[in-house]
Amino acid sequence: MPRYKFSAVAADGSLVSGVERSRGVAEARAQLAARQLQPFTVVPKKSILDLEITPKKVKKRYLMHFCRQLAVFARSGVSLIEALHILSEESPDRLMGKALREVRVALESGSTFAGAAAQHPELFPGYTVEVLQTAELTGRLDDVLDQLGDYLERELETEHKVRSALAYPSIVVLLAIAVSATLVVYVLPKFRGFFKTLNAKLPLATRILLAFANWIGNWGAPLAATLVVAVLGGALLLRTSRGRGWRDQVLLRLPVIGDLIYTSIVERFCRLLASMTAAGVSLPEALAVTTAATNNVVFRERLALARAAMLRGEGLAVPLGETGLFPGAARQMFTVGETTGSLDDQLQAAASYFDRELDYKLKRFTTLIEPAVIMAVGLIVGFVAIALISAMYGIFRQVKAG
């Protein structure tokens, strides 16, 4: 019988993971629910021969367009099966088209839309399955799909902001590394032989540069091998829960970058929880799925404790505030939303607030990092230029004096 790897939230709010044997994803989810577990990822467990370093997934922008298009079909009265047939034939992505065709076949066999979508995590993340399930129960599929499309669009905008902020510094750093490597590996060895033939006394900067180039030449291969082993070891370590927890703690404590990561996680949490509550998903389920969708172990563990407290009847705002994960502005919005019954509106306002905060911090980060990177590159290239020019000038003087 096939095996499925799952991650779920237990009744006490703790995170649980393991392997479930069943005939399909839907049956595995049903078995987990019978054991009082709220699954957020259920995927086939592959053997080591089938293991992929990066699992194939449909791009987020394709899923966003799909939600928008399917909402239009649903609002126009087109049947879900016919709409999926049209969208699968016109899909811009082969993997997405294949998934939609299989979902359509499952619907024709009597499956629910959410149940069929759960069998294709490459297209439908865990939170979308929960939202679709609620949409089917409430009969608001078109509105829910529009909300999903809006959420995905804002996610893409946030990712674009982060990539844009990091693009220029990354390019400059890569160019600096390439220029420095070219000078050390190819240019300096030629000058070393030239300097030896003249038997000249070289300046300190030149001697330092030549010693560094000589050290790289002798130890370059062992260093490269050590780097490769370290990268592979780090990748394997990050596949463990302890490794991911250590990584997430370090990332949140990094100066400047940690603040950016923290703000983006809080913004995504508020945005997703607002979308799910507005779609009619019950608060315990919405918080469980939102917790699972938070790609940070520190946040996951504390939010799981907050959900357990909420299930004990302590409300939502107080347990979220006690996690220490949210600033005062967010805690106040949670309290107002819970007190007035406008939680989804307050969460949406909090998400918009943190989105603006993230935009401001990204601009400030770019403003700080660009001159710092340019200065560092200038110092490296300038040191090399000064070392070579001073050596040539010193040799010229010695030859002229002789």
| 48 confidence band (pLDDT: 50, 70, 90) | very low
pLDDT, tens digit (0-9, with 9 covering 90-100), for 94-106: 889 999 999 898 8
Give the helix/strand (H/E) hosting 108: helix 94-108
The lowest-confidence range among 29-38, 77-86, 251-260, 316-325 is 29-38
Nearest alpha-carbon partner for 8 in 326, 265, 307 = 307
Contact 83, 73 (CB under 8 A): yes
Range 215-221, long-range pairs (CB < 8 A, 24+ positions): 216/184, 216/185, 217/185, 217/189, 220/185
The whole-chain average pLDDT of the chain stands at 81
Sheet of strand 3-9, all strands in order from the earlier edge strand to the far edge: 15-21, 3-9, 38-44
pLDDT, tens digit (0-9, with 9 covering 90-100), for 74-83: 888 888 899 9
Please compute the mean of the pLDDT values over residues 138-166 and round it to a whole number.
82
pLDDT, tens digit (0-9, with 9 covering 90-100), for 374-385: 888 788 778 877
User: What is the fold, at CATH topology level, of the domain defined by 157-402?
Assistant: Receptor-associated Protein (1.20.81)
Phi, psi angle pair for 292, to nearest 5°? -65, -35
CATH code: domain 60-153 is: 1.20.81.30
pLDDT beyond 60 at 11: yes
Q: Domain spans of the chain?
A: 3-44, 60-153, 157-402
CA-CA-CA-CA torsion sign (187, 189, 194, 200): positive
Residue 202 gets the label, from left (phi > 0), alpha (psi -120 to 50) or beta, of beta
Assign 15 to helix, strand or coil: strand
pLDDT at 399: 63
Residue 168 vs residue 63, higher pLDDT: 63
CA atoms lying within 13 Å on the CB side of residue 349 = 14
Query: What burial letters (b/e) apply to 56-95, b meaning 16+ CB within 10 Å?
Result: eebeeebbbbbbbbbbebbeeeeebeebbbebbeebebeb
Contact 354, 263 (CB under 8 A): yes
Look up the pTM and report it: 0.70
| 402 confidence band (pLDDT: 50, 70, 90) | low
pLDDT, tens digit (0-9, with 9 covering 90-100), for 161-181: 778 877 877 887 787 778 777
The Cα 386–Cα 179 span in angstroms is 15
Burial of 229 (0-12, 13-18, 19+ CB in 10 A): exposed
Q: Which DSSP symbol is given to 269?
A: H
Contact 342, 328 (CB under 8 A): no
Helices (H) and strands (E) in the chain, counts: 16, 3
pLDDT at 355: 86
| 198 confidence band (pLDDT: 50, 70, 90) | low
pLDDT beyond 80 at 234: yes
pLDDT, tens digit (0-9, with 9 covering 90-100), for 212-231: 877 877 777 888 899 899 98
Q: Inter-axis angle of helices 257-278 and 241-253, to 10 degrees?
A: 110
pLDDT at 53: 45
| Domain 60-153 identical in fold to domain 157-402 | yes
Residue 347 vs residue 39, higher pLDDT: 347
Cross-strand bridge partners of residue 3? 21
- Position 195: which residue type? F
The Cα 208–Cα 215 span in angstroms is 10
The Cα 224–Cα 174 span in angstroms is 17
pLDDT at 164: 80
